[in-house]
Amino acid sequence: MTSRARALLVLLALFTTLAPSAGGCGGASAPPSMADAPAGAPAAEGAPAPYDSTEAESAAPSRGAEAEEASAPSPMAQAAPRAPAAAPGGGAAPRVVADEKAGAKEEAAAKPKPAAGSAEATTWKRAESGAHAVRVEIGDHEALPVRSVQTKVAIDGSMARVVLDIVVKNNRAQTYEGTLKLRLPVGASPYYFAFGQDAMAIAGDAAPAFFPAERARGMGSDPLEIRRARQDAWQGVKEARMVPKEKAALAYTQTVRRNVDPALLEWAGPNVFNTRVFPLVAGKSHRIVLGYDVPLTRIGEDLEYSFDLPENVGSKAIDFAVAAPQGAAVEVTPKSQPFSGPDKRFYRFDDPSGKTVTLRIKKPASTHLVATDAATGPYFTADIAPQFPATAAAKGEEAALFLVDTSLSSNPDRMNVWLKLLDAILTNNEDSIKRYNVLFFNVEQSFWKPRFVTNDAASRKELQAFAANLALEGATDLGAALGRAASAQGAPQYDVFLLSDGAATWGEPDAQTMTRRLQKTAVRSIYAYQTGLAGTDVDALTRLTRETGGALFSVTGDAEVQKASTAHKSRPFRLVSAKVSGGADILFAGRPRFVFPGQTLRVAGRGTPDKDAALELTLESGSGTQVVKAPLGQAITSPLAIRGYGQIAVAQIEELAPATEVMAKAYSIHFRVPGKTSSLLMLESEADYQRFGIVPEDFARTIKSAAASRVVEDTLALSASALGNPKATFLRWIDGLPQTPGVNVAVPTGFRRALDQMPEESFRVDAAPLVVKSRDKKSIPAPVLADLAAHKLDYDRMATEAERRRRSLGPGDALKALSSLVEENPGDAVLARDIGVTAMSFGLPADAFHLFRRVAASRPYEPQTYRAMAQTLARLGRADLAMAYFEVGLAGRWDARFGEFRKILALEYFDLLQRAARGDMKTSIPEYVKSRLPQVARETQLKSADLVVMITWNTDATDIDLHVTEPSGDVCYYGNRQTQIGGQLTLDVTQGYGPEMYVLKNARDGRYKIQAHYFASDRNRASTRTKVQVIVFEDFGTSAQKATEKVVTLEYGKQKHDLIEVLRKARPGQKPKSTLEIAGP
């Protein structure tokens, strides 16, 4: 696609990094134990100092201050389902961050200190930006101003529905494509997305007018109500629809090429949205509206909702509508007098100061939400904390292994929490945890000590000093960390305490696969902690703890640390059954198997509970079975009841995909829950939806006839043994490819049989531990360290830093630096390809494979990703799985824009099969290799060649041309595809990615200059980057074959880029024979 055509595009792509709605909420979140250390116990010697992410050394902690904090009461934590992000700052200086601002210190010092024991429990206070951080970028270093954000928050019981109105103005003379970046709180589940021009013309830089408080009070949050309330403030409005994920992604890609305006919202990880918006018309304002649901945070006996105020915004207004339980007091910060309606309290904040607006419901009585869906009937949802006597658990292992996440997402707030928890768990369990070790991890893993050490004050002090100097950077490879955890030296068995947000942005992404790898290892149980900080993947933590017999505990504030530190000592009760009078199809978020005393459970079901109904739980322990009743309390009518049920149902059904794919799509589309199977998609017209077969579907009959609980139970009964099995997962994926929209693949029957013959091990790809030499923050340049601490990464600066480390330390250190970009931008396919290609050039193909696999999962119709995965596997010597991806590429009929992809792929496959046939690579299917080799040879029409050059690149809508200047001066390029000496070039690929290939069977002596011409790029952005991977084979197909690879970053505005020069010299004797001829028939 040329730049002129690209300039006409009307494009809006939204890559969400959402955790699947309510899947891990309170289900496996257990509260701290009742039987723990006294709340007023003094802090242990060597208690952790605050982690400072920018200083190499931390000041020693003040024992007096620690003791004062410890004296505050520690109410038993009621684990909040999918707690929203903690308020950054919270109106006072962060207690756990060393580099506090002077003004905040003075303000805190001026306030009277509470008496010991009187402090109110609060959520974690943070240094980094929280939720709702919003930015509209038009290049790598430039952004347009966000003029205003108005927010309507409707709170019903323990749930909140939030609608954001974001107005951005293009204050420049040129129309741009932009990238909207927006972070949402933990547990946020979007249900509405729309885009249009703001209809109110505003002169100069004045902020747009907000909806007045009186009008905002009457504005609803249902999709129809959102559109109707803004009809005079919007024009050219387009709303997103729920669509099966693969069909949405395909429609998005192909619609882009027809110059109309698509927008795509899909799941990619926790809590971060990246959206490309086009056109941002010169001099015009544009309104983006996003609606999402999120649970409140339970802190002690209270419920709290904190709205993180967006920074760098022209103006902001927040409206609250609160339906609190009867008799409950409501406190807001900053203080404000409510307008009281018949059943709600309303609050308005115009341009509030500080970082958050916080609403706290004091000691609310039990409530449940009820509503009726006209198509499928009544639903209810509630947060319930059943009370029953706690008993001490059986004695655990005397050895404990702590896994501490030191990735960029821990910088600095989570690290402060992890160090406090680590110290508290060791100190308060010194009688039971006799020995311990720590595994620090990000993209790499490193044990603190070679073996387990004694748990005493001296070792704890040494550990805290060591941890305080670690650099917090890199992506999160949780699967590799758990794999290393299974090989810790010095103890036959041990419990694992996982101190991580659980968001695996690197390596293996599937929690089921991770837990399967831990079977029959020294790891006993996994315990994890939900902090409520943004970016937490509660679903993953829930699965890891549930499947290993551990638990997920809630630690949403400083006051809960002491209780949480001994929570694992309580004995859980096995959940046998549950029922509600008047209700049916009972679901628990996270599908817990065990329940702890006082644990908050998110429950949902069908029907209308009877008056004074209770949740009746049948629990089993060593002493027998008991029935525990927890009253549902006051009924509050709210649409959140319907979607609350839908979120839990979708999360549970999607967890078992692909076996449940049909039902998952039905549930997610009906209840408008974007997740792993469905997305929100916006197209220009009804005709565009029809062109892709996207028509409104009525799943009401399916929903009514198939209870979610039954779907889950039946699926588990049939396929539980296949969960986490990489072979079963791959076979389900490849069998489903023919039904995937945009993928025209017919897998050969013979190869499908060959796949069945392969062992499970053939489908597992483990990266060798990265060799990293530097982990100390002293070794990182100050500007880079500051960028990491502020979470404002500059691509060019990080690339420069990676090159510095590559030269001085090695490729492992370099890749660790680049992986911070992935951690900060999960779901960015262009970036994943970029770093994947670089990892290959570093000689780290396994790391590259997992990056490419994530891209393929979201874009199955782009064949170049299968080629990239096959290349990485070939370099790893994993012939079986490499053949699988080569076969997928050859079995597909791909879009013509990919040029002669099949021919180029066949050439590389031919090379792999030759090596396998010679025995250079191991394979479990040698007979298939022997029969397939001559077939692929015929497809390539090339037994050997003196010179083969291939290029591919990482960006779409970009035209890169391969130019090869031969010794005679003749240039082989798209305008001269066949040269006098026999050089031949494949078809020109003008719309992104490539590949292109040059072949010369008989090369003359002399110099061959290989260049990339940056012929056309996306000019709607202020700047851009593209990386070209070039692979050169000399003496291809012979015993003398040599391969050279290089990755070159192209500069914007520069047309010609040198890639590689090849010098050919005459060799004495005959040319080497092709290996195919050597092998014989």
Task: Give the orientation angle of helix 726-736 with respect to helix 749-757, to 10 degrees.
Answer: 170
3-state secondary structure 610-653: CCCCEEEEEEEECCEEEEEEEECCEEEECCHHHHHHHHHHHHHH
Region of residue 193 (left: phi > 0; alpha: psi -120 to 50; beta: else): beta
pLDDT band at 657 (very low <50, low <70, confident <90, very high): confident
CA 610 to CA 830: how far, in whole Å? 53
Task: Give the orientation angle of helix 864-876 with respect to helix 901-918, to 10 degrees.
Answer: 20
Q: What pLDDT does residue 539 have?
A: 87
Intervals of CATH 3.40.50.410 along the chain: 40-73+393-569
Task: Of 663-677, 684-698, 986-1000, give the lowest mean pLDDT range.
Answer: 684-698
Helix (H) or strand (E) holding 732: helix 726-736
Is residue 856 over pLDDT 60?
yes
What are 159-198's pLDDT values in tens digits? 999 999 999 999 999 888 777 777 888 888 999 988 888 8
What percent of the chain clears pLDDT 70, i.e. is strictly above it?
Answer: 81
CA 643 to CA 545: how far, in whole Å? 26
Q: 403 has which bridge partners?
A: 439, 498
Q: What pLDDT does residue 206 have?
A: 62
| Residue 295: C-alpha distances to residues 304, 356, 362, 370, 631 (Å) | 9, 17, 16, 16, 20
Helix (H) or strand (E) holding 69: helix 63-70
CA 394 to CA 572: how far, in whole Å? 10
**What is the side-by-side strand order in the sheet with 189-198?**
234-239, 189-198, 285-295, 159-169, 146-156, 313-323, 345-350, 339-340
| Residue 814 near residue 802 (C-beta atoms within 8 A) | yes
What's the farthest any 2 CA atoms get from each other in the chain?
98
Average pLDDT over residues 839-854: 96
Nearest to 651 by CA among 608, 590, 596: 590
CA 1076 to CA 1038: how far, in whole Å? 8
CA 567 to CA 545: how far, in whole Å? 14
Which residues, other chains included, contact 95 with Cβ-Cβ below 8 Å and sequence gap of 6+? 50, 69, 125, 558
Structure-block tokens of residue 939: 């497809």
- Size of the chain, expressed as the number of residues it contains: 1081
Average pLDDT over residues 679-690: 76
Q: Which of 40-44, 398-402, 955-959 has the highest mean pLDDT?
A: 398-402
Q: 300-329: b or e for each residue (b if 16 or more CB lie within 10 Å)? A: bebbbbbbbbbeebbbbbbbbbbbbbeebe
Residue with tokens 């970046």: 181
CA 66 to CA 42: how far, in whole Å? 8
Task: Of 329-343, 535-549, 917-931, 1064-1078, give the lowest mean pLDDT range.
Answer: 1064-1078
CA 297 to CA 158: how far, in whole Å? 8
What are 481-531's pLDDT values in tens digits? 999 999 999 999 999 999 999 999 999 998 889 999 999 999 999 999 998
CA 994 to CA 745: how far, in whole Å? 20
Residue with tokens 């299974």: 486
Structure-block tokens of residue 894: 């791909």
Nearest to 291 by CA among 640, 555, 720: 640
Structure-block tokens of residue 546: 């549930």
Sequence letter at residue 131: A
Per CATH, is 40-73+393-569 categorized as 3.40.50.410? Answer: yes
What are 68-108's pLDDT values in tens digits? 333 332 223 333 333 333 332 333 332 233 333 333 333 33
Rg (CA), the chain: 29
Structure-block tokens of residue 682: 């916006």
CA 225 to CA 211: how far, in whole Å? 15
Average pLDDT over residues 895-918: 93
**What is the side-by-side strand order in the sheet with 1006-1016?**
971-972, 959-965, 1006-1016, 1056-1064
SS3 387: coil
Structure-block tokens of residue 911: 């090379």
Burial classification of residue 492, based on how many CB atoms lie within 10 Å of its CB (0-12 exposed, 13-18 middle, 19 or more buried) = exposed
pLDDT band at 571 (very low <50, low <70, confident <90, very high): confident
Nearest to 856 by CA among 733, 962, 762: 733
Is residue 420 over pLDDT 80?
yes
pTM: predicted TM-score of the whole model, two decimal places: 0.80
What are 273-313's pLDDT values in tens digits? 666 666 788 888 999 899 999 999 988 889 999 999 998 89
SS3 870: helix
pLDDT band at 546 (very low <50, low <70, confident <90, very high): very high
| Residue 466 near residue 439 (C-beta atoms within 8 A) | no
Q: What pLDDT does residue 39 have?
A: 35
Nearest to 639 by CA among 59, 995, 191, 979: 191
What are 914-930's pLDDT values in tens digits? 999 999 999 999 999 99
Phi/psi at 39 (5° precision): -60, -30
Sequence-separated contacts (24+) of 312-316 with Cβ below 8 Å: 312/135, 312/146, 313/134, 313/146, 313/147, 313/148, 313/149, 314/145, 314/146, 314/147, 314/148, 314/205, 314/207, 315/147, 315/148, 315/207, 315/210, 315/351, 316/148, 316/149, 316/150, 316/151, 316/351, 316/352
Q: 750-787: b or e for each residue (b if 16 or more CB lie within 10 Å)? A: ebeebbeebeeebbbbebeebebebbebeebeeebbeb
Q: What pLDDT does residue 255 have?
A: 61
| Residue 5: C-alpha distances to residues 11, 71, 259, 541, 1051 (Å) | 13, 67, 8, 46, 21
Residue with tokens 């993209």: 443
Q: 441 has which bridge partners?
A: 405, 445
Q: What pLDDT does residue 329 have?
A: 95
SS3 329: strand
Which residues, other chains included, contact 448 with Cβ-Cβ below 8 Å and sequence gap of 6+? 437, 438, 439, 440, 463, 466
